[in-house]
Structure formats: structure tokens, C-alpha cells
Amino acid sequence: MTKRIRRGATAAVAVLFAAAAGCTGPQPPPAGERGPRPAGSPAARGAGGEETGGPGAFTLLASGDVLPHSSVIERAAADAGGRGHDFAPMLEGVAPVVSRADLALCHMETVYGPAGGPFSGYPSFTSPPEIATALRSTGFDSCSTASNHSLDDGTEGIRRTLDALDRAGVRHAGSARTAAEAARPVLLNAGPGKRAATVAHLAYTYGTNGIPSPAGRPWAVNVTDGRRIVADARAARRAGADVVVLSVHWGTEWQDEPDGEQLALAERLTASASAGRPDLDLIIGTHAHVPQAYEKVNGTWVVYGMGDQIAGEMINYEGERDPRGNQGSMARFTFAPPGKPGQRWTVEKAEFIPQWYDPEAGRVIDLNAAIGDGNNGLREVRDRIRTVVLGRGAGRDGLVMGK
């Protein structure tokens, strides 16, 4: 469990748009920006069409908060058999879904401690850096790292986290070690070879639990500012992004419904356009610890909250164990290229995949796969997630439950 976001009037969102942009110009992305896909993935097989012509269609998958409480860290230590921590077994149940995507995005909510520890859970998290290698082996390509826990261990926590993700071959957006890194758009390849589309990954958080930005490093963590988000999206587009995806840490914890600030910010951001083309192509939300709805706003898909992908047994604000804190969804969108240059890429298929983290076994469960194997005890959990995800009418816009 993490601290509750302060709820404010919708007018507060307007203030975000009136704030200074604070955006610098784009810099070229580093070479080798994406590591090899796991064996069997579309990009590794070269599936999806020929290697000539413009970019082809691609699938993008996103998942919720990776939040290693003490019990999760202990489970990973047990799975490693006394040799550090192994988080890969936790994610084995969803690895087939993740690795099949052309581009897979995760949310790393916590920062990493030094190799060998010490590590800690709630309320101030420092997690084992071995998580990064598990995320990569599962099939994730990039993680958002902007959250209310990004400054739990100061700038050293950020440095250790990003260093470990770099070593594992996982890109990252939302926190930075240098001003130059903060200013550079994160551009990712989505799809095979010369047919790959270029996707920009942006990430921001509502705040950092009251911990101020480090002296002289206001760029260390991206804090939500509507005007800056738009400026950064436009900079990413100028740098060559075909599709711009925003990861945003927002909302009210333990609330199934998106709050007023989420609704207002989603409305304003999806309405922003340049030369008749929306500045953002997808918004994916984290932080609330419970599944929230998907919705098409101004023609753009918004996932208000995917819930937690990994988290220990969760206690809500009434001091009671709340099983919703281990429920979540993965979002999967199939993007198709535009008919003419300069037009937006379109989502030709929108899907959600219900999942559940079993806190006793320490495993992430693909609920549809588990139910298909005869585990009907999970059907009620799956159906509840579906009800919440479709709660704002996304089914009418074509959202379906995927496998």
C-alpha cells in the first residue's frame, strides 16, 4: 500500500496547463535502444510482413504497478534458493502474453537498493535490482519509473534503478540521472526490422509523497504538468515518433472509479492536437492499486488504471485486507499505420487481459488461461475485473477481453 493522493477540485488541472512548460529540445536517441526480444516473439521471428516499405501494424501491451512489498521480496529470495532474488517465476504466468507483443511496457513503482541489500517494503521502498532482469526475460521493453515512490531513496535510488534497467536491456521513462537524459525523448521500436514503427514513451507522476526534488535536479522525476506533457509529446513527434504513449501515475487509491482530476486531465490531453493530429495516441494509468475503467476520450483510448501487477497482500485505508489490490488488467492495443503521411495511427483492436497476483503462491495469474485449465474458483475475480474495466462503456467502442 502507498500513500493516498490528495484529491482536489477539477480546476487544479487547469493550473497544470497554465504552468511553465519546462521542456528542452529533443536529442537523438542512443544507439541500441532496444534489446533482443525473447525467443518466439513476433519481432524475433520477423513476423508481421515484409521488411520493405513503411512501418506496419504492431501490438502494444501495458501492465500495472510492480510494487514489491516485503513479502514479495521474501518470495523472490525463496525462489532464488539462497542466491539473491529471482522474480522471473512470479511473472511466468503472463510471460506468453507479454512476449507476444511487439512492444511491452511495464510500471516500476519502486526504486532499487544496492546489490545485496538492504531492501525494504512499505512505506519507503528499496527493491532488489534483480527485478530488472526478470522484467526483461518476461518480455518487457520499457518501464515507466515516475511514481510517488521515485524519491524514496533520493538520487542514489534513481541511479541504481536506471543503471539496473540499462544492464538488463529495459528502457525507461519518467526519472533521470542527468538533465540531458531527462530532456531526451524515449523512442522505441515496435515491430520487426525495417517495418518497425517508432513509439515515444512519456511518463509522469502526480507527486513524490511530499519529498522535494533534489537540490539542483528538478528534472530527476517528471511531475505531472499538462502543458509540459503536451510540449514533450510534440517534441517526441518532431524526433520521429509515429505513436506517442503516455504513462501517468494518478488517481485516488482504492477507488474503482476515476476521480475528477483523472477525468479532466484525460479530457484536456486527448483534445490537444497539432496540425489536425492528436498529440497523444494512448494514455495508460497506474497508482490506484485497483482496476479502473478503460474509455475512449476524444477518439483516444485512456486506461485510467490497470491495478497492481505484483504487490503483497494489500491493506486498505480501513485497515482491512482488500483483495482488489491484487487484481489488475493488462492493456493490449493493435495500432495500424495511417492511410496518408501525417495522419494519426489508429487502434484497430483494443483488448484487456484480466490478471491476478496470488499473494500466497507469489505468482501472477493470467485469469483466462487459469480458468481455461478448469480453475473455476477464479471466475468471480475475472468477472469483477471485466465489470470494472467496461464500467464506462468501453465495450461500445470496441474494447474486448483478450487472451
When pLDDT is cut at 50, 70 and 90, the band that residue 10 belongs to is very low
* 323 contacts: CB under 8 Å, gap ≥ 6: 314, 381
How high is the pLDDT of residue 188?
Answer: 98
In this prediction, residue 194 carries a pLDDT of 80
CA R_g for the chain: 19
Confidence (pLDDT) at 15: 38
pLDDT band of residue 40 (cuts 50, 70, 90) is very low
Range with the lowest mean pLDDT among 33-42, 194-203, 239-248, 280-289?
33-42
Interior CA angle at 332 toward 331 and 338, to 5°? 130
What's the whole-model pTM score?
A: 0.88
Residue 402 reports pLDDT greater than 60 = yes
Q: Is the pLDDT of residue 42 over 90?
A: no
- Which whole number is the average pLDDT over 87-91? 98
Mean pLDDT to the nearest integer, 81-98: 97
Query: Residue 373: which pLDDT band, with cuts at 50, 70 and 90?
Result: low
Top-confidence residue, 33 or 329: 329
Residue that is written with C-alpha cell 521502498 in the block = 125
| Candidates 3.30.70.2860, 3.40.1160.10, 3.60.21.10, 2.40.160.100; CATH matching 11-401 | 3.60.21.10
Q: Are 129 and 160 in contact (CB under 8 A)?
A: yes
| Residue whose C-alpha is closest to residue 248's, from 319, 303, 185 | 303
